[in-house]
Chain A
Amino acid sequence: MRSISAVNRSRFTACVMATIATSLVLSGCGTTDASSGANRATREIVVGAASDLRPAFTKVAADFTSASGIRVTLSFGGSGQLKRQIEDGAPIDVFASADRALVENLVDQGLAQQSSLYTYGYVSLALVTAQGIAPASSISALSGAEYRRIAIANPAIAPYGRAARQAIDRTTAGSEIVDKLVLAENVADALRLVESGDVDAAIVATSLTKSTLPPFSLTTSEVSTSLYDAIPQAVAITAINDQSKLNARAFVEFLKGPSGKMTMQAYGFRP
């Protein structure tokens, strides 16, 4: 019986096309104001920022908005991940990377403005110990038996992971520590692991430990800068349309200016 119940295939195809068209129109209707670059409110920018910048940029953006009236949407992620999104056309107007090399690569591709490139700081590591564990004062102390698992960001994709690994390798008991490493997706993730007590210690970005967001009560100590190479961190404009470029320029200038500089220094970034 089924063999002859021929379904009108052309009618089906027509239905499919109509549905797809309708859906695109529908999803457009509800969202054009927010989605399309051309229609975006002219006093608004999207800043894609490395996850170590969350506390610092939350403050900078708030100050910038009250000074300029330009709204800032912050999208946090791994630097490599954000770079890839920009390459894939994400509507990010300013890219703040934890590693200047990624921004330079975008400049080479013509996706970021050479003239706007600004080094806002250098990778700075802090050692964080979980609650209830004897605080570690230096990386070499991590070889001790009380530190069973130690989190760092994945060195393959995160600049902070790269620096942390370098610091461990330059420590005398480095190979013992390497065996205890847990690789987190990014530096914020490494901090989350130590906060929850899933690991006993973590090597993270100094800026994250300066967070004013409660409750940050973990014991921290600076990691000697002699243990890792200085990795410069930079920001650049990646906006496409002219109005967004102007707004993005204003944000970068604000970051370079006294208020921005002061905030960044408070969070441990030094140009």
Chain B
Amino acid sequence: MLSVDVVTGRGSFRVTAAFTATRGITVIRAPSGAGKTLVLHTIAGLVRPHSGRIEIASVVVAQAATQRDALIHIKSQDRKVAMVFQDGVLLPHRNPIANVELGIRPGSIRPKYKTERTAQALRLLDSMEASHLANASTKHLSGGEQQRVSLARAIAGNPDVLLLDEPFSALDHDSRVRLRHTLRRIVDERRLTAVLVTHDSEDVDALADRVVDLEPGRYLEKVGRT
């Protein structure tokens, strides 16, 4: 579970975000320029909030200092979140399977041997219907293919929270529809907590278990699909 109640921003820009995301897909609906990417980056620990706190799986990962509260900032590396960007943001100099392997979180549960990690990465690509891309040239993947690999990489880290930043907006209609199905299936199979920001109402209709509307200065929470 993810619980967010922060004011964050960059420079003089401030966004207020207050919502809770539980298992399933929480869609944050917002027009362009509303600062939704900033909110995701704050959750991921790439940006520090000006005030408030963020909890992931009942652990406070970020808390702005006040007279009452101490400053808490757990590094991005230790938050157990994963991010999927608008375009794949894969490493162009590594092939897709290596990209997925790099998504496996370093630490105690990471398979010790590279062959095991490769096998695990291949299973993840397979679950994204992308195993045929394993050794392709990353630079030459289509948008949809990139997002499948990117999604596999995100899942590889076994995240507590999966953050998706307009993951379908750069795709054509058909890939968009197919990838939505894949995402739905993965989230349900793995019982993930996913937060998806979008300005596309089709995403909301197709995927939202809950919808959070961003308005200038704050987020309102309301019930969507049940």
Chain A: residues with CB nearer than 8 A to chain B?
A: 1, 3-4
Give the distance in Å from the alpha carbon of A3 to the alpha carbon of B42 in the complex: 12
B interface residues, Cβ below 8 angstroms from A: 41, 45-48, 76
> Looking at chain A's contact residues, is the secondary structure mostly helix, strand, loop, or mixed?
helix
User: What are the residues of chain B within 8 A of A3 when measuring CB–CB?
Assistant: 47-48
Question: Total number of A-B contacts with CB less than 8 angstroms?
Answer: 10
A3 to chain B, nearest CB (A): 7
If over half of B's interface residues share one DSSP class (helix, strand or loop), that class is named, otherwise mixed; here it is loop
A sample of 10 cross-chain residue pairs with beta-carbon separation below 8 angstroms, ordered by A number, consists of A1-B41, A1-B46, A1-B47, A3-B47, A3-B48, A4-B45, A4-B46, A4-B47, A4-B48, A4-B76
Closest to A4 in B: B46
How far is it, in angstroms, between the C-alpha of A139 and the C-alpha of B46 when the chains are bound?
A: 80
A4 to B41, CA, bound (A): 11
Nearest CB on A from B39, distance (A): 13
Q: Specify which chain A residues have a CB less than 8 angstroms from the CB of B76 in the assembled complex.
A: 4
- A4 CB contacts on chain B under 8 angstroms: 45-48, 76
| Beta-carbon nearest neighbor of B48 in chain A | A4
B41's nearest neighbour on chain A, judged by CB, is A1
- Min C-beta distance of B41 to chain A, whole Å: 6
Cα–Cα distance between A245 and B39 once the two chains are bound (Å): 76
Chain B neighbourhood of A1, CB < 8 A: 41, 46-47
Collect the chain A residues with CB atoms within 8 Å of residue B48's CB. Answer: 3-4
CA distance A270 to B45 in the complex (A): 84
Residues of A within 8 A of B41 (CB): 1
**Which 5 interchain pairs have the tightest Cβ spacing?**
A1-B46, A4-B46, A1-B41, A4-B48, A4-B47
**How far apart are the CA atoms of A11 and B100 in the complex, in Å?**
29
Q: How far is the CA of A1 from the CA of B76 in the complex (A)?
A: 11
Q: Which residues on A sit within 8 Å (CB–CB) of B45? A: 4
Chain A residues whose C-beta falls within 8 Å of the C-beta of B46 in the assembled complex: 1, 4
Nearest CB of A to B212, in Å? 23
Q: Within the assembled complex, what's the spacing in Å between the Cα atoms of A3 and B41? A: 12
* Interchain nearest-CB distance for B63 vs A (Å): 15
| Residues of A contacting B47 in the complex (Cβ-Cβ under 8 angstroms) | 1, 3-4
Question: How far, in angstroms, from A4 to B46 measured CA to CA in the complex?
Answer: 6
Give 7 new A-B contacts, CB below 8 A, not counting A1-B47, A4-B48, A4-B76.
A1-B41, A1-B46, A3-B47, A3-B48, A4-B45, A4-B46, A4-B47
Distance in angstroms between the alpha carbons of A4 and B47 in the assembled complex: 6
| Min C-beta distance of A9 to chain B, whole Å | 16
CA A8 to CA B31, docked complex, whole Å? 37
What's the Cα separation between A46 and B72 when bound, in Å?
Answer: 66
Query: Which chain B residue lies CB-closest to A2?
Result: B46
Bound CA span A115–B46, Å: 74
| Minimal Cβ-Cβ distance residue in A for B45 | A4
Smallest Cβ-Cβ distance to A1: which chain B residue = B46
